[in-house]
Structure 1
Amino acid sequence: MSAAAAAKPILYSYFRSSCSWRVRIALALKGIAYDQVPVNLLKDGGQQLAIIHYLEETRPNPKLLPQGPKKRAQVRMISDHIVSGIQPLQNLSILQRMGEKKMEWAQQCITSGFQALEQILQHTAGRYCVGDEVSMADLCLVPQVFNAERYKVDLSPYPTITRINKALLELEAFKASHPSRQPDTPAELRA
């Protein structure tokens, strides 16, 4: 993401990228208008969680990290678990190497990650991942659940994940940033 002093920031985004979606949610929650430049991730690379940290430091309201150190640590732990322990293992570059077993590989990686995440969330969740305020962890959760659905992962063993995801998808920032509503979404996938 780049921005000139008075210009709107530019988000280089791919409609279905989990990383891009997390940033779009953060921008929507913080009410930041931006220009979007579609990028084909099969050719051009991706986004980083660092953008959300940057937004949190430069535009602190609404907060994506809670005030207390324990809750902040919980948010970071959940976020890191998703963006480092689940999502990279089912990225396009990895799945292409898996050949015919890519669906099985993605399901296995997501299932393993969700088993641990479900246990964590049973101790941290309120309405959302950590308590009752939307946090960076929630921005990470929703795109990962979307990927789980894309790869036909059975979500019934994860009632906490499913409940939180459903509550978050009711929020306007999550609706507006959904992959089906992006300018580079293929027509057959639009909502």
Structure 2
Amino acid sequence: MSVPVLHGYWRSSAVYRVRIALGLKAVAFDQVAHDLLAGEQRDPAYRAIAPHGLVPALEVDGAVLIESPAILEWIDQRWPAPSLLPADPLAAATVRAMAALIACDIHPINNLRVLKALKHDLHATGEQIEAWTHRWIGEGFAALDSMIEAHGGTHAFGDGVTLADCYLVPQLYNARRSGLDLSPYPHLVEAGEAAERLPAVAAAHPDRQPGANP
């Protein structure tokens, strides 16, 4: 198998998820950086790889995978150990629900192109955009904190790292950048910080990636 090539942007939370998963599996990979702020994701050369013009995209053995949920599921199947999903189907569904809470209910309405649209198309002020961001992260985090209280142990689900942690850590990074008060979500923060202390997760941090701002 050839070395996977991850197309991304250093601060993209969707790409961050994939880096975490690859790191937890101890999979070597190359990275190609695309500056989202400069619009490089819309370049025809990149669209030839990823027609949707978004990151991440993962090139592997002549194929291209897009959308982080699909990529993460593929990674977990391709390299089964350590598994990022519990063996029990109900437990696995709970982990997927935690991940989807972030991937479907928080991230899409707070990603870069949505925030740009709020600013340029709807003329939202910086204060309004911050309120928008905090509203949707806060609502999602409140639900996720309850789920982690019910199902968590050392990590978001039980005592092993799962897909839920792959999603949680990048969203915590975004929440901190936005200045959100995290005190109402103690279980979520504790689980996120436990994952962040793992060497493979720490290595995936945005500040340690190609193209990161000093």
What's the TM-score bracket when you normalise by the shorter of the two chains? Answer: over 0.9
- In the aligned structure 2, how far is the partner of 1:56 from the partner of 1:115? 28
Cα displacement string for residues 108-152 of structure 1 (whole angstroms, at most 9, x for unaligned residues)? 110111111111111110111110000001000000011110111
Alpha-carbon separation, structure 1, partners of 2:175 and 2:76: 27
Assess if the C-alpha contact under 8 Å between 1:25 and 1:139 holds in 2.
Answer: yes
2:194 alignment partner in structure 1: 167
For residues 40-119 of structure 1, the aligned pairs below 5 Å read 40-42=35-37, 43=39, 44=41, 45-47=54-56, 48=67, 49-99=69-119, 100=125, 101-119=128-146
For these two proteins, the number of residue pairs brought into alignment is: 182
Deviation at 1:41, TM superposition (A): 2.7
5+ unaligned residues in a row in structure 2: which ranges?
42-53, 57-66, 120-124
Contact 1:96 1:102 in 2 (8 A): no
* Mapped partners of 1:39, 1:57: distance in 2: 27
TM-score, length basis structure 2: 0.83
Match of 2:180 in 1: 153
1:33 — aligned with what?
28
State TM-score, norm by structure 1.
0.92
Larger radius of gyration: 2
Equivalent-residue separation in structure 2 for 1:104 and 1:98 (angstroms)? 12
Counterpart check, 1:18 vs 2:13 = yes
Which whole-Å deviations, capped at 9, do the CAs of 1:76-127 have from their partners, x for residues lacking one?
0000111001111110111112221211111111011111111111111011
Taking the aligned partners of 2:4 and 2:116, their CA distance within structure 1 comes to 32
Q: Report % sequence identity.
A: 39
Q: CA RMSD in A?
A: 1.0
| 1:51 positional shift | 0.7
Alignment partners' CA distance in 2, 1:98 and 1:37: 29
Matched AA of 1:104: A
Which structure 1 residue ranges, 5 or more long, are not aligned?
Answer: none
